[in-house]
Amino acid sequence: MSQTDANSTAENSQGTRTERGGGDAVGSFLSYVQSDQTGVVGVREGISYGLGLIVYILALLLVTAVVNGIGGAFLTGALSVDNGIVTAILGLFGFAVTLTAIVVLFAGFAGLQYKIISDAVSRGD
């Protein structure tokens, strides 16, 4: 491979070509890593992003646990009532609230995955 083949060239908005990178693959890679266009994440930014995700996960688990506890309380309370219709209504309501908690949990984690992927894509631009 010749020296000109190893160098990468790019055309800017005025139509002129500029050389980027070194003469070898390692030099070219190092110049790319050290450039401002890579979207490198710093240590502080990474830690703060991770802490934000942990807070999000803990809040999601807290909300899910509270809603699930309310649904469980209705289900337990339904068993203590002697009237069959009231028991059925309270049991169905408790089941619906518990099911809502499960849906919120899955939707929250799906939203978390979407956020991580979209943040990575926007950061890489």
Average pLDDT, the chain: 78
Task: Collect all residues with Cβ–Cβ distance below 8 Å to 76 and sequence separation of at least 6.
Answer: 94
3-state helix, strand, coil in the chain (%, to 5): 75, 5, 20
Q: What's the rounded Cα separation, in Å, for the pair 109 and 112?
A: 5
Which pair of tokens denotes residue 18? 């500029």
pTM here? 0.61
At residue 109's C-alpha, the angle toward residues 107 and 112, to 5°, is 110
Q: Could you report the per-residue pLDDT of 4-39, keeping only the tens digit for each?
A: 444 444 444 555 555 554 456 666 655 555 555 556
**Residue 9: φ, ψ to 5°:** -120, 150
Which pair of tokens denotes residue 108? 């929250």
pLDDT score recorded for residue 14 = 54
Share of the chain above pLDDT 70, in %: 67
How far is Cα of residue 93 from the mean position of the Cα atoms in its chain?
32
Quick one: angle between helices 43-79 and 84-124, nearest 10? 170
Amino acid at 29: F
Q: Could you report the per-residue pLDDT of 79-102, keeping only the tens digit for each?
A: 888 888 888 898 899 999 999 999
| pLDDT tops 90 at residue 51 | yes
